[in-house]
Chains A and B, each alone.
Chain A
Amino acid sequence: MRILLVEDEPSLALQLRQTLGDAGYAVDHTDNGRDAWQMGGVQAYDAMVLDLGLPVLDGLSVLKRWRQEGITAPVLILTARDQWHEKVAGIDAGADDYLTKPFHTEELLARVRALIRRSHGQASAVLHCGPLSLDTRSGRVTLDGHPVAMTGHEYKVLTYLMHRPDTVVSRAELTEHIYAQDFDRDSNTIEVFVARLRKKLPASMIETVRGRGYRLASP
Chain B
Amino acid sequence: MAWRGASSLRLRLLGLTAVGLTLALLLAWLVLAGLFQDEVMRQFRQALEQQLDQLTARVEFDPQGRPQVDPAGLSDPRWNKPYSGLYWQINDADQVAQSRSRSLWDTQLSNISDTLADGAVHAHAAAGPQGAPLLVLERAVRSAQIPSGRWRLLVAADTQAVQAAVQRFRGVLALSLAALLGLLLVAAWAQVSLGLAPLRALQRALVALREGQTQRLEGTAPLEVQPLVDGFNAVLERNAQVVQRARQQAGNLAHAVKTPLAVLGQAAEAVVTPTPGPSAPPASVDLARLVLEQVDLARRQVDWHLAHARAAGGHGLPGQRVLLDPVLRGLVRVMDKVYATRAIDVRCQAIDAKLAFAGEEQDLQQILGNVIDNACKWARAVVLVQARLQADATAALLVVTVQDDGPGIAPALRDAVLARGNRIDESVPGSGLGLAIVADRVAAYGGAIALDPSPQGGLQVEIRLPAAL
Give the interface of A toward B (CB within 8 A): 83-85, 87-88, 91-92, 95-98, 102, 104, 107, 110-111, 114, 118
* CB of B366 closer than 8 Å to a CB of A: yes
Cβ of B311 to closest chain A Cβ, rounded Å = 12
Chain B: which residue is nearest A104 at the CB level? Answer: B429
CB contact under 8 A between A95 and B337, given known A83-B362, A84-B366, A85-B362: yes
A96 in complex: contacting residue of B299, B337, B366, CB < 8 Å:
B337
* CB of B174 closer than 8 Å to a CB of A: no
Cβ of B449 to closest chain A Cβ, rounded Å = 17
- Tell me the complex Cα distance, A187–B49, Å: 132
Give the interface of B toward A (CB within 8 A): 295, 299, 310, 330-331, 333-334, 337-338, 340-341, 361-362, 365-366, 368-369, 429
Q: From DSSP, what is the main secondary structure of chain B's interface residues?
A: helix
Contact A85 B361 (CB under 8 A): yes
Chain B: which residue is nearest A123 at the CB level? Answer: B343
Contact B337 A84 (CB under 8 A): no
Q: Which residues of A contact B340 (CB under 8 A)?
A: 96-97, 114, 118
Chain A: which residue is nearest B429 at the CB level? Answer: A107
Q: A84-B368, A102-B299 are in contact. List 18 more A-B contacts (CB 8 A).
A: A84-B331, A84-B362, A84-B365, A85-B361, A85-B362, A88-B331, A88-B334, A91-B333, A92-B330, A92-B333, A95-B337, A96-B340, A97-B337, A97-B338, A98-B337, A98-B338, A110-B341, A114-B340
- Tell me the complex Cα distance, A84–B310, Å: 12
Contact B429 A88 (CB under 8 A): no
- Tell me the complex Cα distance, A102–B338, Å: 16
Cβ of A191 to closest chain B Cβ, rounded Å = 35
- Tell me the complex Cα distance, A97–B338, Å: 5
Which of B331, B337, B368, B369 has its CB near the most chain A CB atoms (within 10 A)? B337
Q: Which residues of A contact B366 (CB under 8 A)?
A: 83-84
- Tell me the complex Cα distance, A111–B362, Å: 27
Cβ of A147 to closest chain B Cβ, rounded Å = 25
B333 in complex: contacting residue of A85, A88, A110, A114, CB < 8 Å:
A88
- Tell me the complex Cα distance, A83–B334, Å: 12
Cβ of B294 to closest chain A Cβ, rounded Å = 13
Cβ of A115 to closest chain B Cβ, rounded Å = 9
A sample of 23 cross-chain residue pairs with beta-carbon separation below 8 angstroms, ordered by A number, consists of A83-B310, A83-B362, A84-B334, A84-B362, A84-B368, A84-B369, A85-B361, A85-B365, A87-B338, A88-B365, A91-B334, A91-B337, A92-B330, A95-B337, A96-B337, A97-B340, A98-B338, A102-B295, A104-B429, A110-B341, A111-B341, A114-B341, A118-B341
Cβ of A107 to closest chain B Cβ, rounded Å = 6
Q: Which residues of A contact B341 (CB under 8 A)?
A: 110-111, 114, 118
Cβ of A152 to closest chain B Cβ, rounded Å = 25
